[in-house]
A and B are shown apart, each in its own frame.
Chain A
Amino acid sequence: MSNYIFRLDARRCINCKACEVHCKSSKFLPPGAKLGVLITVRPTQVAKGRRIISAFAPCFHCAKPWCVSVCPTGAMIRREKDGIVYVNKELCVGCKSCIVVCPWHFPQVDETSGKIVKCDYCMDRIDEGLKPACVTACSVHALSFGKPNEDAAKVRDSFGKSTMVNKDWGSTPQD
């Protein structure tokens, strides 16, 4: 796994596909290749009512990626500092071994160049302190991305403070 946690809040998701389109647009991908994929089921009766449910599948950025070990040119790379698995376009010869060996077929073919494209968590954006395109622009902020310990710290802090501050105590702690 990479150092990041990537999550879809399915209750918030409205199955709109903005994530897929933002991903493709930001990378200028041609039709046919999808890096992040939103998989949706048709209206289904569940306990709470009729729901349209989605799951988002970019790439798992495996700790021991099959795609990296099979790549004959060394184009598929897992970078040490955070575990993102990405393609070096210069070295890729389009043999498609990575697609064959990935259990989920995440790598895609850019049909205009014949080379492989793959979700790289928008590595360029991350290196600028930004988030992946899909997360940044999801139409309802249903996608989240970050470093688990850092993000958890914020949640734990706000939870802790909200439980300490209640009507009985009657005051807000100063930070």
Chain B
Amino acid sequence: MNKKIVYNICKMCPAQCPVQVEVENQEAKFVMGNSFASGINGALCPRGAGAISMIRDDERPQFPMIRKGNRGEGKWTKASWKEALDYFAEKIESVRSKHGAKSILWSDGDRSLNELHKAFVSGLGSPNYCNENSAGLSNVSNASFSLFGFGSNHFVYDFLNSKHVVLQARNMFGAIEVKDVNDLLDGLEEGGHLTVIDVRSNITAGKADKFLMIRPGTDYALNLAVIHVIFEEKLYDASKATVFINDLEKLHNFVRPYTPAFAEAETGIIADEIIALAKTLAKAAPAVIWYPGQMAAKYKDSFYVCRTAFIINALLGSIGAKGGVAIAATPEDAGGKGLKKITKLVLKIKENRADGVDWMYPHLEDKGGLLHLAFKAIQTQNPYPIKAYIACGSDPLSSYPDPEAIKKTFENLDFLVSMPYCWSDIAWHSDLILPISPYLESDDILKQVNGLHPSFFIARRCSKSKFDTLPSWQIISEMAKRLNIVPLMFNSIEKIWAYQLQETGVKIEDFDKTGFVGLSKKLIYLKKEDIKFNTPSGKIEIISEKMEKQNIPSLLNYAPKEKQPEGQFRLTIGRCSVHTPVFTRNNDLLHEQMPENKLWLNSTVAEKLKISDEEIVLIKSKNRTGKIKVFLTEFIHPEAVFMVHGFGSGIPPESRTKEIGVADNILMPGGLDIWDVAGGGLALQEHFISISKIV
């Protein structure tokens, strides 16, 4: 038996949990969580368990493909890597010489380790590197930026030691990031409390000590009332708070009208519950976490929901605290050195971004841009034309609103490229497909994880490639060779690893035993005095100068949510444990678990509409329709419907995805224009649908 353990990083979803793989004769046989990594200890979620099924599946891009007919027609020529990459270089060079390097757009999904891709885009000469955060994390990271001067990735949530966690519109046990989920469950077993605020009773609500069902769209009202109670009942340490927080007086005055009674009228949550929640949190402070959000691209005021969540944490002293919203320590905090950044190999591009972040919206963090505004630039040629778009492990036709509108926008592109791990709508629509080997078949760049125990993780390939696909580092290297980006012409993954490790004192052999290298013996909680907020005053700033300069209020007056028209329901979306949206819809083990999505509908509402459980109904949003089975429950707010994101029919080569419910994003006509400049996030839950029986 030729059995061995190989360490890798799971890329079946954005959590990127460390894994260990039993490998025999260059074939992965069993994938489990890394048994040495804290919070993991061998555990791995169902998507992770579907990784071997994915690589064994024939129904994925097997070789580079060049489009023959029209976009989306599905006519392809098979190409060798040499042919495909030569074609890529030729087309990119042509676009670059005609319209300039800045006319090239790149979007990354968050299942990849993206540093090498970022460097490549700079190497091309373009500033237009985007991720998909404007449909997800933007509001959270920009809320953090506006208060602390740094993004939310500077924090780590210390669930394990928390005495009270509030999960607001965050289905953590549904979406599953293995370490966080286990830390939270362990923390609850040790006596911690969990309060869940959501529009429906999902699995996370099922673990709560207290579940508060909230009227969809009114979270901001709740948060304002909680801050009001903290001030009025003096539930915070005023002397400590003034040391760390500016403009407390302004905040206090601002929240005066937002009483618990006001919030009850808006949210449906009883005023006494709101007061009790604030008091309970204060007793548990500072070891509390009011989770500020993850998929926060929900409502037009979601940025302010995130911001007030952070403010609640700040008032209760949990910022930087053990059991609270701790600062993610870096290797430097542990007395060591971090991985050398690959982006340092290329010059930062000074050109203005096409999506306007950094020059039109200087109050926003630059890192991932705003993809929906980049699409606007493609459409309007403003501020300048975008003529080439490379979607790498990213499918905005599935993750962004109104795919028909996006496809229309793409007509302005001379060149559309996909670098997919598996079939996706955008791959089918592209001019060129450069398939990336799934993670089990790929080595990857080293990953640095800041946190209470800063560490480096390795991703080593476990299986030989079943088809003619390549790891992304190799594709980038080959592209770099053809486009003369000298610093990124890596001939081996070992050369990349050596570059990354050069100043750290860590050797590649140090990863052999456990797959990671921890940089500190103990957990690192930074002392409050050592925490540096990156703001002009050095304190947490309730009033953000950057925002005020843009005439964007730091403290936004609450706008009451209009009563929904009769027969209209707010479309809410979310995740589930067995699927990563779109990515796993055709995975044979995961499709078997959940072959379609269903529409959660309040059972009392359904009775009035004479709709029974499991009935297939017609749903309509403006002129967009879909047919879906209903799941009736009394445990969803009567104004809301819910469906899991990432379903709807697939593309021809995916045999398992013929009738699989509805793609929520087709029910969002005009949705690309519903976004908030304050946080950059789209508002994906500001769409309403009607439901009717199919006769």
Do these two chains really belong together in a complex? yes
Chain A interface (Cβ < 8 Å from any Cβ of B) = 12, 14-18, 20-22, 24-26, 28, 30-32, 42-43, 49-52, 133, 136-141
For A21, the closest partner residue in chain B by CB is B49
Complex Cα–Cα for A137 and B29 (A): 14
Taking the nearest CB of chain B, how far is it from the CB of A10, in angstroms? 11
Residues in A neighbouring B501, C-beta threshold 8 A: none
A-B contact pairs, 8 of them (CB 8 A): A14-B207, A16-B176, A17-B46, A20-B46, A43-B206, A50-B205, A50-B211, A133-B30
Q: Is there an interface contact between A17 and B211, defined as CB atoms closer than 8 Å?
A: no
Complex Cα–Cα for A30 and B56 (A): 12
Q: Is there an interface contact between A43 and B173, defined as CB atoms closer than 8 Å?
A: no
Give 5 new A-B contacts, CB below 8 A, not counting A22-B46, A32-B592, A50-B211: A21-B50, A25-B52, A42-B633, A43-B633, A137-B43
Q: Is there an interface contact between B43 and A25, defined as CB atoms closer than 8 Å?
A: no
Known contacts A137-B32, A138-B43, A139-B181: A18-B49 contact under CB 8 Å: yes
Residues in A neighbouring B173, C-beta threshold 8 A: 14, 16
Q: Is there an interface contact between B32 and A21, defined as CB atoms closer than 8 Å?
A: no
Residues in B neighbouring A30, C-beta threshold 8 A: 588
Taking the nearest CB of chain A, how far is it from the CB of B29, in angstroms? 7
Out of A18, A24, A42, A50, name the residue touching B44 (CB < 8 Å): A18
Q: Is there an interface contact between B578 and A14, defined as CB atoms closer than 8 Å?
A: no
Taking the nearest CB of chain B, how far is it from the CB of A49, in angstroms? 6
Q: Is there an interface contact between B32 and A43, defined as CB atoms closer than 8 Å?
A: no
Residues in B neighbouring A51, C-beta threshold 8 A: 206
Is B201 in contact with chain A by the CB < 8 A criterion? yes
Known contacts A25-B52, A42-B633, A137-B32: A16-B45 contact under CB 8 Å: yes
Residues in B neighbouring A141, C-beta threshold 8 A: 41-43, 182
Out of B207, B577, B631, name the residue touching A16 (CB < 8 Å): B577
Residues in A neighbouring B51, C-beta threshold 8 A: 25
Interface centre among B589, B633, B635 (most CB of A within 10 A): B589
Taking the nearest CB of chain A, how far is it from the CB of B174, in angstroms? 8
Taking the nearest CB of chain B, how far is it from the CB of A142, in angstroms? 9
Q: Provide the B169-195 mask, 1 if CB < 8 A to any CB of A, else 0.
A: 000011010100110010001000000
Q: Is there an interface contact between A52 and B206, defined as CB atoms closer than 8 Å?
A: yes
Residues in B neighbouring A49, C-beta threshold 8 A: 205-206, 208-211
Out of B44, B178, B185, B590, name the residue touching A12 (CB < 8 Å): B185
Known contacts A139-B181, A141-B182: A25-B32 contact under CB 8 Å: no
Interface residues of B in 18-51 (CB under 8 A from A): 29-33, 41-46, 48-51
For A12, the closest partner residue in chain B by CB is B185
Complex Cα–Cα for A107 and B211 (A): 40
Q: Is there an interface contact between B181 and A21, defined as CB atoms closer than 8 Å?
A: no
Complex Cα–Cα for A50 and B657 (A): 33
Q: Is there an interface contact between B44 and A43, defined as CB atoms closer than 8 Å?
A: no
Interface size on B, residues (CB 8 A): 47
Residues in A neighbouring B178, C-beta threshold 8 A: 139
Taking the nearest CB of chain A, how far is it from the CB of B25, in angstroms? 14
Known contacts A20-B593, A25-B52: A15-B577 contact under CB 8 Å: yes
Taking the nearest CB of chain A, how far is it from the CB of B80, in angstroms? 31
Complex Cα–Cα for A32 and B503 (A): 52
Complex Cα–Cα for A21 and B209 (A): 29
The 6 closest A-B pairs by CB, nearest first: A16-B577, A21-B49, A137-B32, A43-B201, A18-B46, A14-B173
Is B53 in contact with chain A by the CB < 8 A criterion? yes
Secondary structure of the A contact surface, majority rule: loop
Taking the nearest CB of chain A, how far is it from the CB of B297, in angstroms? 24
Taking the nearest CB of chain A, how far is it from the CB of B345, in angstroms? 38
Q: Is there an interface contact between B44 and A137, defined as CB atoms closer than 8 Å?
A: yes
Q: Is there an interface contact between A21 and B593, defined as CB atoms closer than 8 Å?
A: yes
For A29, the closest partner residue in chain B by CB is B589
Is B203 in contact with chain A by the CB < 8 A criterion? yes
Residues in B neighbouring A18, C-beta threshold 8 A: 43-46, 48-49, 577
Q: Is there an interface contact between A136 and B32, defined as CB atoms closer than 8 Å?
A: yes
For A15, the closest partner residue in chain B by CB is B203
For B205, the closest partner residue in chain A by CB is A50
For B33, the closest partner residue in chain A by CB is A137
Residues in A neighbouring B29, C-beta threshold 8 A: 26
Q: Is there an interface contact between A17 and B577, defined as CB atoms closer than 8 Å?
A: yes
Residues in A neighbouring B189, C-beta threshold 8 A: 12
Q: Is there an interface contact between B49 and A137, defined as CB atoms closer than 8 Å?
A: yes
Complex Cα–Cα for A28 and B31 (A): 12
For A30, the closest partner residue in chain B by CB is B588
Residues in A neighbouring B577, C-beta threshold 8 A: 14-18, 139
Known contacts A43-B206, A50-B205: A17-B578 contact under CB 8 Å: yes
For A50, the closest partner residue in chain B by CB is B201
Complex Cα–Cα for A140 and B188 (A): 13
Q: Is there an interface contact between A16 and B578, defined as CB atoms closer than 8 Å?
A: yes
Complex Cα–Cα for A141 and B633 (A): 29
Interface centre among A18, A133, A138, A141 (most CB of B within 10 A): A18
Residues in B neighbouring A52, C-beta threshold 8 A: 201, 203, 206
Q: Is there an interface contact between B206 and A139, defined as CB atoms closer than 8 Å?
A: no
Residues in A neighbouring B52, C-beta threshold 8 A: 25
Interface centre among B43, B176, B590 (most CB of A within 10 A): B43
Q: Is there an interface contact between B589 and A25, defined as CB atoms closer than 8 Å?
A: yes
Q: Provide the B576-592 mask, 1 if CB < 8 A to any CB of A, else 0.
A: 01100000000011111
Residues in B neighbouring A21, C-beta threshold 8 A: 46, 49-50, 578, 589-590, 593
Taking the nearest CB of chain B, how far is it from the CB of A108, in angstroms? 13
Residues in A neighbouring B591, C-beta threshold 8 A: 31
Taking the nearest CB of chain B, how far is it from the CB of A102, in angstroms? 22
Residues in A neighbouring B33, C-beta threshold 8 A: 137
Taking the nearest CB of chain A, how far is it from the CB of B453, in angstroms? 19
Q: Is there an interface contact between A140 and B182, defined as CB atoms closer than 8 Å?
A: yes
Complex Cα–Cα for A30 and B453 (A): 40
Residues in A neighbouring B203, C-beta threshold 8 A: 14-16, 52
Complex Cα–Cα for A52 and B200 (A): 12
For B633, the closest partner residue in chain A by CB is A43
Taking the nearest CB of chain A, how far is it from the CB of B466, in angstroms? 14
Q: Provide the B200-230 mask, 1 if CB < 8 A to any CB of A, else 0.
A: 0111011111110000000000000000000
For A27, the closest partner residue in chain B by CB is B30
Complex Cα–Cα for A138 and B173 (A): 13
Out of B44, B210, B593, B631, name the residue touching A17 (CB < 8 Å): B593
Complex Cα–Cα for A51 and B42 (A): 26
Residues in B neighbouring A136, C-beta threshold 8 A: 32, 42
Taking the nearest CB of chain B, how far is it from the CB of A21, in angstroms? 4
Complex Cα–Cα for A122 and B56 (A): 21
Residues in A neighbouring B50, C-beta threshold 8 A: 21, 25
Complex Cα–Cα for A42 and B31 (A): 29
Residues in B neighbouring A139, C-beta threshold 8 A: 43-46, 176, 178, 181, 577
Residues in B neighbouring A140, C-beta threshold 8 A: 43, 181-182, 185
For A34, the closest partner residue in chain B by CB is B592
For A131, the closest partner residue in chain B by CB is B42
Complex Cα–Cα for A14 and B205 (A): 11
Residues in A neighbouring B41, C-beta threshold 8 A: 141
Q: Is there an interface contact between B49 and A25, defined as CB atoms closer than 8 Å?
A: yes
Complex Cα–Cα for A26 and B182 (A): 23
